[in-house]
Amino acid sequence: MSPTIIGIIGIVIMILLFLTRMPVAFVMASVGFVGFSVMITHNAGLVLLSRNVYEVFGSYDLTTIPLFILMGQLGFNSGISKRLYDVGYKFLGSTRGGLAMATVSACTAFGAVCGSSPATAATMATVGLPEMKRYNYDDELATGSVASGGGIGMIMPPSVVLIIYGILTEQSIGQLFVAGIFPALLITVLFIITIYIRCRINPEQGPCGEKFTWAQKFKALIGLSETLAVFTLVIGGIFIGLFTPTEAAAIGAFGILVIAMLRRQITWAGFVKSLRETLRTSCMVMMLIAGAVIFGKFLAVTRIPFEIAGWVSELQMAPFLVMAVVIMIYFIGGCFMDALAFVTLTVPIFFPVVMELGYDPIWFGIIIVMVTEMGVITPPVGINVYVVYGVAKNVLDQEIPLEKIFKGIFPFLLAVIVGVIILIIFPKIILFLPQLMY
């Protein structure tokens, strides 16, 4: 039996195991181990399994992940999210749809200290939904803006998905971080425009909130200064080469902790909760990486990625048509699988293909993260929708139907599609900062 056939059988078995709802990390690791053992030897498979798991959990570079997750957890448990929302609320709340615009803006800002899409959605749903309910916002607009805005956390640095992509493809995490800034801001602006258009068409969806004086606005802005300082230090330090992404993550986590302690806004229980959630999430991410690495080694010995790359290079098709197919695969796959799991699974397959076509690896990383971002708000998985659904039941004491939330995200989904098209047509929006950085 040829290596390619064995590889295809392995992929089919893996998909079937996914349907049993087994954890993605364990499925990838198991299929990779068995396939590698069949291709080489059983002892080689055992060495691969033990060595790769040890190398992933013992990797210095991967300490970036738990440190940035800790930074986000400390930010959440110390009330930073409330201050971010307060700034957006006071600047935008008095306009039609202003509270929804403030929520989206706060999601972008919180993504700068969090890096997780579901965590951003959960945090902003807790803060924003009660306020929008108080001003009689339409449930579709309120929940749709929170669920969709949470997806920006996947693009805005420090993004966990970008870290994983950088590790799997051996690209600079610093370049990926700065490359994500302009696309995240672009999506934020497109979301705000979407809210404005919706409220112009149907003003009852987002009534005006209360007005604030400029003194009150600037006072709220001062409360944001520490968060801006930490974000500037973390991203600016990486940008100018002052420290590595791992060092930046440590500085960011320590900075948020110091701010929380000086403001006396974090309790011992909140600190312990932050550590516990960081440990739980980090182990999940690390296992995904380990599983993806093991499965990637199996794919490498089957030579499937290189066969696909060679086949694509021989096609009489324009590179942009091939890229369109790859993007469509990421969009469809993101609808059925967790974005992080799907990226770790597919990058070893499609990255050689994209490199064969001559596309920039940094540009490709941002594009696939943006495309899979759509998956966190689209059925049937739509993890952010389920997060908002659960939070809404707790903070509003009412159940908002899932159908209504999915209907609410549709205009924002169109906005993301427009954003992806803009970034494909104008790749310099992504590459400007990385090229300036190096």
In the listed set 243, 278, 302, which residue is the last one of a domain according to the structure?
A: 302
Residue 188 lies in domain: 61-266+303-437
Q: What is the pLDDT of residue 309?
A: 64
Assigned domain for 222 exists:
yes
Q: What is the pLDDT of residue 313?
A: 62
CA–CA dist 346, 338 (Å, integer): 12
Assigned domain for 117 exists:
yes
pTM of the model: 0.79
Assigned domain for 164 exists:
yes
Assigned domain for 274 exists:
no
Q: What is the pLDDT of residue 7?
A: 83
* Residues 66, 18 share a domain: no
Assigned domain for 423 exists:
yes
Q: What is the pLDDT of residue 381?
A: 62
* Residues 254, 117 share a domain: yes
* Residues 296, 250 share a domain: no
In the listed set 278, 302, 326, which residue is the last one of a domain according to the structure?
A: 302
Q: What is the total count of domains within the chain? A: 2
The token pair at 253 is 């986590």
* Residues 65, 8 share a domain: no
* Residues 255, 402 share a domain: yes
In this structure, are residues 72 and 284 in contact, taking their beta carbons and an 8 Å threshold? Answer: no
In this structure, are residues 99 and 143 in contact, taking their beta carbons and an 8 Å threshold? Answer: no
* Average pLDDT by stretches of 10, the chain with 438 residues: 82 82 81 87 85 79 78 77 77 80 84 72 79 84 87 80 85 87 92 91 80 79 76 79 81 86 83 85 78 80 72 71 81 71 78 84 90 75 76 76 85 90 91 82
* Residues 331, 298 share a domain: no
Assigned domain for 240 exists:
yes
Q: What is the DSSP string of 60-86?
A: SGGGHHHHHHHHHHHHHHTTHHHHHHH
How many C-beta atoms surround the C-beta of residue 27 within 10 A?
A: 22
* Residues 21, 167 share a domain: no
* Residues 158, 138 share a domain: yes
Q: What is the pLDDT of residue 164?
A: 83
Residue at token pair 């992933």: 56
Q: What is the pLDDT of residue 221?
A: 77
The token pair at 86 is 């307060």
* Residues 108, 29 share a domain: no
* Residues 260, 202 share a domain: yes
For CA atoms 86, 91, 94, 100, the dihedral sign is negative
Assigned domain for 276 exists:
no
The token pair at 331 is 């969009």
The token pair at 158 is 């420090």
* Residues 50, 125 share a domain: no
Residues whose CB falls within 8 Å of the CB of residue 259, separated by 6 or more in sequence, listed in order: 78, 80, 226, 227, 230
Q: What is the pLDDT of residue 191?
A: 93
For CA atoms 364, 365, 366, 368, the dihedral sign is positive
* Residues 295, 251 share a domain: no
CA–CA dist 43, 38 (Å, integer): 10
Q: What is the pLDDT of residue 364?
A: 92
Assigned domain for 272 exists:
no
